[in-house]
Every structure is written in structure tokens, then in C-alpha cells.
Chains A and B, each alone.
Chain A
Amino acid sequence: MSESQPAKKRIKRQHDQHHLITANLPDDILEIIFSFLPIKEALRTGLLSPRFRNCWIRSRKLHFDKDFARGRSQENFITIVDKIFNVHAAPTILSLRLYFNPTGVVSIVEEWIKKCVEKGVEELDLNFVEGPNPFVIYSSYLNTNSLKILKLCHCKVFVPPKLCYLNTLVLKKVHVRPVLMKTFLENCLLLESLDISKCHTMAHMKIYAENLNKFKELRVGDCGPYTVVIDIDAPTLRLFHYSGQPVFVKFMHKLMLNDVIVNFFSFSYMRKENPVNLNDLSNVTVFSATAAFLEILVSKKGNKEFHEKPPGIRLMQLKEFQLIMEGAHFCNVYDIASFLKSCPRLEKVFIDLNEFSFACGYYWESHQKEILDKEVPGAAFECVKVVKITGFKFQKHEVELVKYVVQKARFLKNLVLVTPRNSRLNDYAEELQHYYKMFCCWKASIIGQITVFDYFEDTSSVHPQHSRLTWF
């Protein structure tokens, strides 16, 4: 693998040269173009010709990120960055990115930030995760109308700045007190995206954003075990991604949500109500969840009631559903089938069985399996075109899941099975022939194709929109 990579690169470069773009542009325009390169690239343009020798002093993108920081001492980091700030000659700085340990040099860092603010900085990405203590941000030098993107990692914000033009706020490892959240949401009226991850927050997180007309995306990731309830009042929200311990999510408005991830790390029995009111998800088109979410739903209804009554949930708009089974306790084929049946417009189904085996008990054998078998083939899944099951081990219940789906989906075009991460396709050579015939025999769709891939050679080009359920 490692040997083949350089060869690939060489081929690509030759290819580029073949389609070489050329242009005769005046030097002063080239200089403006180069000022839009990140500082490292801008410095490299100094080699082009004497004319561009010092072009880098007008770089608008002062990026000293993780790549820059790798293997560099704090002293060396400061020397280089400070030198660049001292000679910087452009009237504008678009973005500043820092990744280092600021212990003992806080005032220098503050100077850098102030200079950027003076030059109308639009993006600040300050990551101080390398430091032992959070970096304290004072609003006095951050009150700027130019800032559009603010990303803070391992910081402490005492009095939140009034950033009227902010559209993206990312807080990681920041102690988010109620007053901080409140001030941001009251002042940043143009906010479009809010991302809070690994933050100590309150037990009751309140996202009251009813005055924000452009607020579209909310991500909450791994915010510790303390958060119990998230109240969301955001009429314009379209995307909600949650990853962490199970919480109650309450939406106070009828929503336009269409892109949702609920990644519960573990199952926990919730006595009163569902973690998310499924009526709030009625407009969702893309939904990914872990089995823990499904299990909480199932456990609410009580097993007996759940199978006797038809499922009440109706995710009428859902087109793509992804289910991650890892960590599931009792979720079985019946539960999955019940959920799928409640989404009449579903087109794509992705089920990840990696690190998981169905453990179907007596109840399944005696009751649930029979119910599924009795269902009329082809009576549901009218829209399902693609089903992909990854981590497929040809185990008994996995085969039952495939059987159920292919019997039902009359218009299925593609069934894609992928082996688990830790085994190869060759391991299943014997089963393969046998089961392939069975699947073909079961399938209700005439045009449906069945393909099986090795985990490392999955060339199916069928992938879920949410490639990962954790983003932080």
C-alpha cells in the first residue's frame, strides 16, 4: 500500500502538466492573487522571481495550524509568527489560525489577535488544546464587526463579545455557561451555524434562537454526562447533529429540520418520554442514528404493545436512513423492520453491523419471526432502491434481515453487502455461493443487483451522506 502511493502522485502530476493552464497576468494582479494564499504557500512564492520575493508580507491568511505546530517548540512557534506579524504589510487579514501552548506568552498572543482585529479579520481559529489551562479571551479586543467565523478550543470566555456579523461559532472544550450562550444568541443575529463539542455545559442546555433568521445548523458533540435536556427554539433550523449520552431534545417550534444525526453512545432507560419527539422529525430527509436510539424507542412502547400495534411513527419525508448497530443490547431484526416500515418514502437504507452480532432471544423465535414471515411480500418499501449492509458476516439473523428486505423491496436496484473490518471476503467463500443463490431467489425486484465487497475494496460508490457520526 505504502509503495504504490508515490507512483500515483507522479502520474497525477504528469496529468496536470498535460492540461497546463497558462495566463499572462500583470504582476500587480499576481501579487493580489498570491495574497490570498495561506502564509506558508505565500512564502513559497518568494522563490518565483525577485519581483515576488517579499510578496508574502501581504498574505491575508495567517495560518499557523496543527500542521505548522507539529514538532515545533513554543519558542520557535512564537519567533516565526511574531516575525511575520511585525513585517506584515497588507491592510487586511482575512484569517488567523493558531495551534499551540500559550502558557507564559499570553500578552503576545493578545497582540496578534488585536492586530488581526485592526485589519478586519473575518476568521479566528484559536486552538489552545496543547496548553495546560484554558486561554482566557477578553471581549475588549474581540468586539469587532468584521468577524464572521470564530472557532475556540480550550478557551475561557468571561464576557462574551458582541459579534454582530458572526455566522459560524465553534466552541470546543470551552466552559459554556448559560450567560455565554445567551449573549451569543442574543447578539449574533446573523449566526448560521453553532457547533459545541466536548464542552462542559449546563444540565439544561437552552438554545433560544427564535430571533435568528439565518440559523440553520446546530451540532452538539460529546458534552459530558451532565446535559440532560436540550431545549431548542430555532424556527429556521435545518440540521441537527447530536452525539453523546442520551438526552431529551425538545423542539419548541414546528421545524423544517431535514438533516439529523442522533448518535447516542449508550442505551439508557428513559422513563417519561421519547428522547426526541418523532413528530419533530416529520420533515427530515436524511437521518442517521445508533441502535441505542432505536432501543429507547422500542423500550418505551413495551415489547408486547410494540409488536401488536402497527408502529405509529411516520417519518413521511425520510429518504435516507443510516443505522449503526455497534453497542446495541437487544435491538433485533424485528425492531429494525418496524422502524423501516414507518418510513414510507425511504429510498436508501444503510445498516452498519460492524462490532455487532444479533442476539435474538426466545421472543423473536416464538413470535416476532413468525409475524415478519407472514407479512405480504412486496407490501412496503415501495421507494427503496438501495440497501447497503456493512460488517456483514452471513450470520443467521443477518441473513434474515436481508431476506426481509429483498422480499419487500419490489423496486430495489442495489443490494450491497460489505464484509466486516476485521475479516476478508475469502473467509466467506463457501457461504457466498450458497447465499447468493438464496438472495436471488428471495428478491422481489427483477432488476435488483446483489454485490458483495471486501471491506477494503468497497468500490460500490453507494455511501451514506453522513460518512461519520462524530465530527469533532
Chain B
Amino acid sequence: MAIMYALKSSDNEIFEVEQKVIEQSETIKKMIEDGAATGEIPLQVSSKTLAKVLEWCKQRQHKTVENENDDNKGKRKKERDEDDDIKEWENKFSDELKADKDVLFDLLLASNYLDLPALLSFLCQLVADMVAGKMPEEIRRMFNIENDFTPEEEKAITAEHGWAFQP
């Protein structure tokens, strides 16, 4: 019988999750190890985002279990299909996030807060692809970055790495 934990979202929704699934989060794993995880574990993550986090963790968990059980023979066809399934799942997952940017950025913050390195990398790459090819002014507006460079400083940076600023 798998050990279950109850996670409470910031909007007070309860998610029952297997220990193996949620232990991928270093933050929660540490809480469990420290004995701090009794009863409901309150998290500063909205229920919508937490559902996405758990979707990711379950998929990952499934993947690692499959690999452990792999006896390498007579499974060729099945295994191939599973590879495709994972890729397909990841594509679908990222398409959904690209369509709903608010969830994407919330999930990014949650993956950082819960310390899920694989998810964090996955999402950072996704956002980096959105940033690529944009002008500095556009990126600043995108992330509310204030530009406090003087024109002279800007000129110095452009001069230092001239090649990167050529079109």
C-alpha cells in the first residue's frame, strides 16, 4: 500500500498524492524527512498550478518505473510506443502551456519553489524559446525589467561584444 500525502493548495484545495510521486520535489522530500509533513502540507501554489505540477510528476514517475522494470527482451514494440507516448505527452504539455502563459509562469515559479529541477529546466527552455529573437526593449517589457543603463554604458556593452549585436 502506497503512502499517501495530502497537499493543500493556496486556495485550500486538497490533493491526495503518493509519496513516490511527490518526493521528486526536493522541498517536500525534505519536509517529509524532517517529519514536518504531518496532516495536510500547505503549499503556496494555486490549485490550477498544483494540478499541472502533479501531472508532470506522475508522468515522470511512470517513466522511471517503466525503466526499472525493463527486462530488455520481447518488449521492443511496446517500448517504442512508450517512447513516442512520452514525446507526445511532452509536446501536448508544452502546447497547453504555450496557449496559457499565466499557467506557464505560475508553474515556473512553483517548480522553483518546490525544487523540481527537471521541470524547471523544461520550462526555462520553453520560455527561452519565446524570448529568442526579441529586441531588448521587448524583453524588458515582457518581464518588467527597468533599464537603468546610461546610453554610454549601453554603447560600451555593444562595443565589447560587437559581433552579437550585428543582425
Q: Which residues of A contact B (CB under 8 A)?
A: 16-17, 20-26, 29-30, 32-41, 43-53, 56, 68, 72, 80, 213-214, 216, 235-236, 256
Q: Which chain A positions have C-beta within 8 A of B91?
A: none
The 10 nearest A-B residue pairs measured at CB: A36-B128, A43-B164, A23-B105, A47-B136, A43-B161, A33-B124, A40-B164, A36-B125, A33-B127, A21-B101
Among listed B8-16, B28-36, B38-46, B143-151, interface-contacting one: B143-151
Number of interface residues of B (CB under 8 A): 43
23 A–B contacts, CB within 8 A, in A order: A21-B142, A22-B141, A23-B101, A23-B105, A23-B144, A24-B143, A26-B109, A29-B108, A29-B112, A33-B131, A35-B124, A38-B132, A40-B164, A41-B133, A45-B136, A46-B161, A47-B149, A48-B145, A49-B140, A49-B149, A50-B149, A214-B83, A256-B77
Contact A213 B72 (CB under 8 A): yes
Judge whether B109 and A80 touch: CB under 8 Å.
Answer: no
Contact partner of B143 among A23, A37, A72, A235, CB < 8 A? A23
Instruction: Judge whether B120 and A49 touch: CB under 8 Å.
Output: no
Q: In whole angstroms, what is the CA distance A20 to B157 when docked? A: 27
Min CB gap B27→A, angstroms: 15
Given A53-B157, A213-B72; A45-B139 close (CB under 8 Å)? yes
A residues near B158, Cβ cutoff 8 Å? 47
- The answer on a CB contact under 8 Å between A34 and B128 is yes
A78 to B83, CA, bound (A): 40
Residues A25 and B109 in contact, CB atoms below 8 Å apart = yes
Interface bits B101-122 vs A (CB < 8 Å: 1, else 0): 1000100110010000000110
Q: Give chain B nearest CB distance to A27 CB in angstroms.
A: 9
Q: Which of A16, A49, A214, A235 contacts B145 (CB 8 A)?
A: A49
Give the residue of A29, A47, A49, A213 whose beta carbon is less than 8 angstroms from that of B76: A213
| Other-chain residue from A17, A37, A49, A235 in contact with B132 (beta carbon distance below 8 A) | A37
Interface on B for A, CB 8 Å cutoff?
72, 75-77, 79-80, 83, 101, 105, 108-109, 112, 120-121, 124-125, 127-128, 130-133, 136, 138-149, 153-154, 157-158, 161, 163-165
Chain A hits for B154, CB < 8 A = 47
Question: Taking the nearest CB of chain B, how far is it from the CB of A123, in angstroms?
Answer: 13
Assembly CA distance A95 to B145 (angstroms) = 28
Asked if residues B157 and A47 are in contact (CB atoms below 8 Å), the reply is yes
Within the complex, the shortest CB–CB distance from A115 to chain B, in Å, comes to 20
Find chain A residues with CB under 8 A from B161 CB: 43, 46, 56
Interface contact B128-A37, CB-CB below 8 Å: yes
**A50 and B76 within 8 A (CB):** no
Is the CB–CB distance between A49 and B147 below 8 Å?
yes
- Taken together as a complex, chains A and B put the C-alpha atoms of A36 and B138 apart, in Å, by 18
What residues of A have a CB within 8 angstroms of the CB of B140 in the complex? 48-49
Residues of B within 8 Å of A32, CB to CB, are 120, 124
On chain A, the residues within 8 Å of B80 by CB distance are 213-214, 216, 236
| Nearest neighbor of A28 in chain B, beta-carbon distance | B112
Q: Which residues of A contact B146 (CB under 8 A)?
A: 49
Q: Which residue of A lies closest to B79 (CB)?
A: A213
For A36, give the chain B residue with the smallest CB separation: B128
User: Is the beta-carbon distance between A49 and B148 smaller than 8 angstroms?
Assistant: yes
The answer to whether B131 and A34 have CB atoms under 8 Å apart is yes
Chain A residues near B143 (CB-CB < 8 A): 22-25, 30
A48 and B108 contact, Cβ closer than 8 Å, known pairs A22-B144, A32-B120, A213-B79? no
CB pair B165 A44 closer than 8 Å: yes
Q: CA A310 – CA B120 in complex, angstroms?
A: 60
- Find the A residue at minimum CB distance from B164: A43
- CB distance B142 to A22 under 8 Å? yes
Please, which residues of chain B bring their CB within 8 A of the CB of A30? 143, 145
